[in-house]
């Protein structure tokens, strides 16, 4: 059943009016909801794109960014439970993947409907400890070098000390969300999980993405993409097709049963 689009600070572009199913997308470190704006034209019209906007960036740039996964996931879960009606799925890339995972666990604690599917990319499974960069203690030149190595940051940002100084507090918070995350064992999620692994990503290997299987009692699927840490963005048409295939039951009604 098609549903109305609802806008909130967490979902500034709405929840996909007229769509049978929503896809909530959580961004990587330093990015905001606009990282997924282009996906709206690549997904079938029965999937409503709903990019997530954490505090401290873009439309929420005057807010203090959160530097822990727990409070971020808990606050987003309250918003999702109130604003998203009908079936939905969740996608997260890099830091967004661990936030997406903890969002699902927060929703479960609330007793709210879970997503019909969790998609993750560019992030080792939560039970595998993340490497640290020491970003908090870096000067701007060191920060630029780390961002250049990670990829995904425009050259005009890397060459501007003013821009680097502006985004430094946000990056410190976002990297803390990722690197200071400590996994707490809970029951696996009772929803299907799909992981996208980039074959040349030194930050999250194929084997580390495959380890996400332990976090689901349902079907687990691993897709390998040619490229580096941002392959999931660079291979967007392929990713969109795989997401649509996973969410389409083949019955003409899409994935319309929401697990609890």
Residues that are catalytic: 94
Helices (DSSP H) in 123-250: which residue ranges? 140-150, 155-158, 161-179, 206-210, 231-234, 236-247
Residue 62 and residue 185: Cα distance in Å, rounded? Answer: 35
**What's the number of CA atoms in the CB half-sphere (13 Å) around residue 21?**
26
Residue 176 and residue 23: Cα distance in Å, rounded? Answer: 26
Two tokens, residue 143:
């920060």
DSSP bridge pairs for 138? none
Is residue 230 within 8 A of residue 151, CB to CB? The reply is yes
CA distances from 147 to 44, 157, 194, 245 (A): 33, 10, 27, 33
Please provide the size of the chain in residues: 260
Residue carrying the six token digits 């690197």: 179
Residue 206 and residue 216: Cα distance in Å, rounded? Answer: 18
Residue 16 and residue 9: Cα distance in Å, rounded? Answer: 15
């Amino acid at each position: 059943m098609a549903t109305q689009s609802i806008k909130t600070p967490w979902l500034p572009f709405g929840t996909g009016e007229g769509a049978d199913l929503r896809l909530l997308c959580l961004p990587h470190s330093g990015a905001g909801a606009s990282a997924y704006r282009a996906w709206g034209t690549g997904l079938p019209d029965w999937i409503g794109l709903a990019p997530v906007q954490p505090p401290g960036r873009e439309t929420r740039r005057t807010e203090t960014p959160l530097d822990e996964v727990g409070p971020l996931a808990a606050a987003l879960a309250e918003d999702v439970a109130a604003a998203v009606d009908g079936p939905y799925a969740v996608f997260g890339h890099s830091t967004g993947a661990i936030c997406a995972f903890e969002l699902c666990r927060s929703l479960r604690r609330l007793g709210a409907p879970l997503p019909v599917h969790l998609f993750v990319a560019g992030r080792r499974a939560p039970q595998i400890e993340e490497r640290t960069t020491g970003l908090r203690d870096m000067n701007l030149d060191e920060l630029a070098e780390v961002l250049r190595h990670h990829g995904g940051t425009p050259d005009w940002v890397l060459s501007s000390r003013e821009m680097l100084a502006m985004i430094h507090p946000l990056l410190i918070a976002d990297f803390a969300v990722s690197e200071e995350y400590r996994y707490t064992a809970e029951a696996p999620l009772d929803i299907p999980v799909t992981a996208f692994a980039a074959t040349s990503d030194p930050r999250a290997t194929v084997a580390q993405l495959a380890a996400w299987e332990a976090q689901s009692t349902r079907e687990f699927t691993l897709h390998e993409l040619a490229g580096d840490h941002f392959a999931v963005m660079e291979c967007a048409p392929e990713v969109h097709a795989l997401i649509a295939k996973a969410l389409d039951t083949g019955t003409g009604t899409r994935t319309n049963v929401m697990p609890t």
